[in-house]
Amino acid sequence: MQGIAMLEVNGLCAGYGSIPVLYDISLALGSGESLGILGHNGMGKTTLLRTLIGALPATAGSIRFKGEDITRAAPHARARRGIAYVPQGREIFPALSAYDNLRLGLVKTGRKPDEALGALLDDFPRLKPLLERPGGSLSGGEQQLLALARALAGDPVLLLLDEPTEGIQPSIIEEIAETLAALRDKQGLTIVLVEQNLDFIAAVSQRVLVIRRGQLGDEIPREHLSNIDIVSQYTGVHA
Amino acid sequence: MSTPLPDRHASIPVPGALERFAHSWKSAALTLAVGVVLLVALPFALDDFALVQATVYAVMALLAVSLGFVWGFGGILCFGQSAFFGLGAYTYAIAVTNLGDSTVPLLLSIVLPAAFAAVLGYLIFYGRLSDVYMGVITLTVTLILFNVVNSTAGPEWTIGKAPLGGFNGIPNIAPLNMPGNVDDVIGPRGMFELSVGALLAVYLLLRALLAVKLGRVIVACKENEQRVALLGYDSRAHKLFAFVLAAAIAGLAGCLFANWGAFTSPTIFGLAQSAQIIIWVIVGGLGTLVGPIVGCVAIQWLTTQIGTQQAINSNLVLGAILVVFVLMVPKGIVPSAGQLGVRMLKALRGGRRDVAAVSTQAAVPRTRSAAPAADHEASHSAPNASHEETA
Amino acid sequence: MTTQQLTPLLETRDLNVRFGGVHATRDVNFTLAEAELRCVIGPNGAGKSTFFKLLTGQVRPTSGQILFRGKDIAGMQPHEPARLGIGIKTQVPSLFNGLSVWENVWLAARRTNTSTQSERVTREVLERVGMIAYRDALVGLLAHGQRQWVELAVVIAADPPLILLDEPAAGMSDAEVARTAELILEINRRHALVVVEHDMSFIRKIAKTVTVLHQGAVIREGTPERIMSDPLVQQIYLGKKPH
């Protein structure tokens, strides 16, 4: 834990209409910390991230970002404060070129696209030949990369990632893990990562928590992360 | 299976009581019962003038249902229902003037708009034009028909014995008669019974259609045309069917309208008429069949009341209603009233919580689908085969 | 030997497609026997999903043939290959979001079954994929991985001789991935399958033959072990870590 909490969540509850999904979620992350969240489908992983970014209203509890209460803030207000979200399903603007998608990502920083994107594209070389093509014509994996790059284009302080490696080929998964780990270590990027890929989550996250039935559970010790059977016990196969 | 499945989340997002009711045969039975009661009772309860008013409400409601079906269930926003309505009215008028006996004219008033829709629909659906073009083309067709028919005032514009009359319209249209006996014509009470009867019959026909494979696939086309094709169904053919059926219903309504007023004119094709039908459906409840009926009758009644005084322009009121509904009651009267009813019932029963039920106002998690309103309309629209046993 | 036994279930001959300046499929010659299971791997943008779109009639080829049981299906209307017996689970789940899980599967079953049979088939398939408890759930409200299961059920319900699965394990936990592998092997007893995936441990569980696509062309074909130790495949696709 380094210094003031970047993200502080207390007693967070959320759901869809009369179906509650998240119960009493509490967590705290300092700057440069990276938290991984593991869990089966339907356990609330996506719901948690959506509540953090504000796409879903919290029904109870609070979220503090850099000491400021953002529980009632609109998603765009949270984005402006430096939270970036890469949702499951990419959500690329299909009619815009890949380049324009990236430009949209850095609108709020006010920086000029050419200089700002130069460094970013060095981390995502696969996107370079695709820049002029419409977002919708990219393959699934390429769109996933574009979504990730777009989120990073805005120089976020907190990055929320929902299964970012889905559909991406193994060699690039490694590259992304390296890129994120570097951003975490050198620039203090704080990360909340939801993933099923154990290798990736181990490479990028310092701590891994399990989410079960909408509640955050035990931390999985790092040494157990590579053992699928042990991980299954944590995530509740034999419950 | 050796690998055990992980334990599942406790709550499963299922539709609420209202939606289950709407999709079961019970709601059809209720509507039918109410309809039959009105059919039988109103001629005794109302004087002739009011009965005639009620008749036109029923006729317009039939027109509203045609759009409610093709748009709410087929996903086809057709601006041309008034075109088929007008074609039905004019076909009846011209045919009955030429033929005398009304049986064939009645059939033609259904068949001709349907045939016209078949050609138009073929071009649009088999040409795989996008939804925007459907709106633009059908609206344009309505305007073209208006302009063409409007300019047929001269005596040279005659089909057989029937002059088209241009902007004057066709007056003194012979009413429907008992098949075979030209002198046994329909009176006001008969017109009322026929109109309400037709409305109920069409309602039941559509409910039945939506309960079988053909109707389910039509609804599926609205949801996801790509998946429909990937399952082996020709979405073009299904959409064409829905489009043609809606045109036939609108044509029938047109025939009844021509009978009701013994008169038809080009305003039937006008922009105002097209817009009104859409407003009825939105206000009543897109995604239901009862909604358009309620919306149509409510607005028609309101327009009549406003028309009796000069202070406010009725079009202004109509526009204001549309704005208010779209902003504040987006689902429309029928679904909203239904939800209110369900909530009151729950409150009366002491608020026993039904954790498994989703409020139809739930914020829906979105990965790749449309706006919340559309989702709920979609979930309203589909009678669910699996719910028959709960009905 | 009759011609029936010699005719492969699926055969593409010099299949090419170009759009928007991209040569997405390059001279692909691909053969699949009845009830064969093949995995297709390749870097992002290699043309895997495009290949599937060609097989299902969603994309028209620029040149070449696609023979399904000897019949050329290239350029058919999108519903025709399905009628002939090709089912697909798309990369992005393509389902009827406003309808229930039951209804999604029922619509798939109903095309080739009577109303009564469809009820039975739907129930059986949902039980097979373990989603029967969700039968009344609205698909649009389900979690991503759950939608994957539903789509799998939808494809199985139509019972096609050729099933295409585009990343069936995406968004699934390890336990669910294992379950999916079992299900695929079970389906493979009577159906041919072509599976696109990135999870190499998953592929090893199910595949005897793997085809590798790169920049639209087939560059390697062989057993999983041969493919994974191939230096070119490691360079363009697998990366440094052992899989």
Domain presence at residue C30? yes
pLDDT at B366 over 90: no
Q: C142 and C68, same structural domain?
A: no
C172 vs C18 pLDDT, higher one: C18
- What's the pLDDT at B370? 34
Q: How far apart, in whole angstroms, are the C-alpha atoms of residue B270 and residue B107?
A: 24
CATH code of the domain covering residue C39: 3.40.50.300
pLDDT at B372 over 60: no
- For B106, other C-beta atoms within 10 Å of its C-beta total 23
- What's the pLDDT at B167? 87
- What's the pLDDT at A143? 92
Strand order in the sheet with C63-68: C22-32, C10-19, C63-68, C71-72
pLDDT digits (tens, 9 = 90+) for A165-190: 888 888 889 889 999 999 899 888 99
Q: C129 and C111, same structural domain?
A: yes
Angle, alpha carbons C88-C193-C243 (nearest 5°)? 105
Which residue type, as a one-letter code, is found at position C138? L
- Nearest-CB residue to C79 (from B15, B234, B374): B234
- For A131, other C-beta atoms within 10 Å of its C-beta total 15
Q: Which residue has the tokens 């019962």?
A: B33
Q: C151 and C43, same structural domain?
A: no
| Residue A3 pLDDT class (50, 70, 90 cuts) | low
- From chain C, pick out residues whose CB is under 8 angstroms from the CB of A175: 239
Q: C197 and C151, same structural domain?
A: no
Structural tokens at position B208: 């039945």
Mean pLDDT of chain B: 85
Rg of chain C taking only CA atoms, in angstroms: 18
Residues C44, A169: C-beta atoms closer than 8 Å: yes
- What's the pLDDT at C24? 92
Q: How far apart, in whole angstroms, are the C-alpha atoms of residue B243 and residue B326?
A: 25
- For C64, other C-beta atoms within 10 Å of its C-beta total 18
In this complex, is the C-beta atom of C170 within 8 Å of any C-beta atom belonging to chain A?
yes
Q: How far apart, in whole angstroms, are the C-alpha atoms of residue A114 and residue A194?
A: 31
Q: Quick one: average pLDDT of A111-138?
A: 89
Residues A235, B364: C-beta atoms closer than 8 Å: no
pLDDT digits (tens, 9 = 90+) for B5-30: 444 444 677 888 888 888 889 999 99
pLDDT at C88 over 90: yes
Nearest CA in chain C to A237: C175
- From chain C, pick out residues whose CB is under 8 angstroms from the CB of B374: 98
From C111, C144, C159, give the residue that closes a domain.
C159
- What's the pLDDT at B367? 34
Q: C171 and C62, same structural domain?
A: yes
pLDDT digits (tens, 9 = 90+) for A24-68: 999 999 999 999 998 877 788 899 999 999 999 999 999 999 999
Q: Which segment of B91-105, B134-148, B240-254, C227-241 scores lowest on mean pLDDT?
A: C227-241
- From chain C, pick out residues whose CB is under 8 angstroms from the CB of B3: 175, 178-179, 182
CA distances from B84 to A139, B90, B243, B269, C92 (A): 44, 10, 11, 9, 39
- For B183, other C-beta atoms within 10 Å of its C-beta total 6
Q: CB within 8 A of B304, min separation 6: which ones?
A: B53
Domain presence at residue B388? no
- From chain B, pick out residues whose CB is under 8 angstroms from the CB of A19: 11, 13, 355-356, 358, 362
pLDDT digits (tens, 9 = 90+) for A141-163: 899 999 999 999 988 999 999 99
Structural tokens at position B211: 């309960």
- What's the pLDDT at C106? 97
pLDDT digits (tens, 9 = 90+) for A5-14: 899 999 999 9
Phi–psi pair at A40, nearest 5 degrees: -75, 170
In this complex, is the C-beta atom of B6 within 8 Å of any C-beta atom belonging to chain A?
yes
| Residue B391 pLDDT class (50, 70, 90 cuts) | very low
pLDDT digits (tens, 9 = 90+) for B153-199: 888 888 888 888 888 889 888 899 888 888 888 888 999 999 999 99
Number of structural domains, chain C? 2
Helix (H, G, I), strand (E, B) or coil at C88: strand
Domain presence at residue B214? yes
- From chain A, pick out residues whose CB is under 8 angstroms from the CB of C198: 141, 167-170
Q: How far apart, in whole angstroms, are the C-alpha atoms of residue C227 and residue C241?
A: 15
- Nearest-CB residue to A50 (from B9, B354, B365): B365
Report H helices in B152-288.
188-211, 213-223, 225-230, 235-261, 271-284
pLDDT at A20 over 80: yes
pLDDT digits (tens, 9 = 90+) for C111-147: 999 999 999 999 999 999 999 999 999 999 888 888 9
Q: Quick one: average pLDDT of C148-155?
A: 95
In this complex, is the C-beta atom of A54 within 8 Å of any C-beta atom belonging to chain B?
no
Q: What is the DSSP string of A123-161?
A: H-GGGGGGTTSBGGGS-HHHHHHHHHHHHHHT--SEEEE
| Residue A140 pLDDT class (50, 70, 90 cuts) | confident
Residues B13, A239: C-beta atoms closer than 8 Å: no
pLDDT digits (tens, 9 = 90+) for A221-239: 888 887 777 777 777 653 3
- What's the pLDDT at B77? 94
- What's the pLDDT at B353? 52
- What's the pLDDT at C5? 60
- Region for residue C213 given its phi and psi (left: phi exceeds 0; alpha: psi -120 to 50; beta: otherwise): beta
- Nearest-CB residue to C97 (from B8, B229, B369): B369
Domain presence at residue C90? no
The angle that helices B271-284 and B290-307 make with each other, rounded to 10 degrees, is: 120
Q: Report strand pairing: A83-86 vs A158-162.
A: parallel
- What's the pLDDT at C242? 63
Q: What is the DSSP letter of B124?
A: I
Mean pLDDT of chain C: 92
Structural tokens at position C44: 């992002």
Q: Quick one: average pLDDT of B299-320?
A: 84
Strand order in the sheet with C217-222: C86-89, C162-166, C192-196, C37-41, C209-214, C217-222
Domain presence at residue C12? yes
- What's the pLDDT at A132? 93
Q: CB within 8 A of A32, min separation 6: which ones?
A: A2, A184, A185, A188, A189, A190
pLDDT digits (tens, 9 = 90+) for B41-79: 999 999 889 999 999 999 999 999 999 999 999 999 999
Q: C166 and C78, same structural domain?
A: yes
- What's the pLDDT at B364? 36
- How many residue pairs bridge chain A and chain B with CB atoms within 8 Å of each other? 57
Closest Cα partner for B223 from B21, B9, B376, B5?
A: B376
Phi–psi pair at B366, nearest 5 degrees: -110, 120
- How many residue pairs bridge chain A and chain C with CB atoms within 8 Å of each other? 106
- How many residue pairs bridge chain B and chain C with CB atoms within 8 Å of each other? 132
pLDDT at C241 over 70: no
Number of structural domains, chain B? 1
pLDDT at A123 over 90: no
Helix (H, G, I), strand (E, B) or coil at C219: strand
From C159, C187, C211, give the residue that closes a domain.
C159
- What's the pLDDT at B348? 86
- What's the pLDDT at B342? 87
Domain presence at residue B182? yes
For residues B221, B225, B228, B234, the Cα torsion angle rounded to the nearest 10 degrees is 80
Q: What is the DSSP string of B24-45?
A: SHHHHHHHHHHHHHHHHHHHHH
Residues B9, A89: C-beta atoms closer than 8 Å: no
Which residue type, as a one-letter code, is found at position B374? A
Q: Which of A21, A22, A41 to mutate to test the interface with C (most CBs of C within 10 A)?
A: A41
pLDDT at B389 over 70: no
Assembly ipTM: 0.93
Q: Which of C141, C198, C237 to mutate to test the interface with A (most CBs of A within 10 A)?
A: C198
Q: How far apart, in whole angstroms, are the C-alpha atoms of residue C220 and residue C213?
A: 7
pLDDT at C96 over 90: yes
Structural tokens at position A71: 């529980």
B198 vs A15 pLDDT, higher one: B198
Q: Which residue has the tokens 């002059």?
A: B163
Domain presence at residue B172? yes
Identify the domain containing residue C187 by its residue range: 8-85+162-243
From C135, C159, C183, give the residue that closes a domain.
C159
Domain presence at residue B99? yes
- Nearest-CB residue to A19 (from B5, B11, B368): B11
Q: Quick one: average pLDDT of B333-361?
A: 71
pLDDT digits (tens, 9 = 90+) for C173-224: 888 888 899 999 999 999 999 999 988 889 999 999 999 999 999 999 999 9
Domain presence at residue B323? no
Pair B263, B173: CB distance under 8 Å: yes
Q: Report strand pairing: C10-19 vs C86-89.
A: unpaired
Q: C141 and C35, same structural domain?
A: no
| Residue B142 pLDDT class (50, 70, 90 cuts) | very high
- What's the pLDDT at B363? 36
Q: How far apart, in whole angstroms, are the C-alpha atoms of residue B164 and residue B182?
A: 23
Identify the domain containing residue B172 by its residue range: 23-310
Domain presence at residue B165? yes
Q: Report strand pairing: C37-41 vs C209-214.
A: parallel
- Nearest-CB residue to B379 (from C77, C133, C138): C138
Q: Which residue has the tokens 């899980």?
A: C101
Q: C175 and C233, same structural domain?
A: yes
Q: CB within 8 A of B127, min separation 6: which ones?
A: none
pLDDT at C234 over 70: yes
pLDDT at A135 over 90: yes
Q: How far apart, in whole angstroms, are the C-alpha atoms of residue C74 and residue A81?
A: 52
Which residue type, as a one-letter code, is found at position B123? L
Domain presence at residue B225? yes
Q: How far apart, in whole angstroms, are the C-alpha atoms of residue B323 and residue C173?
A: 47
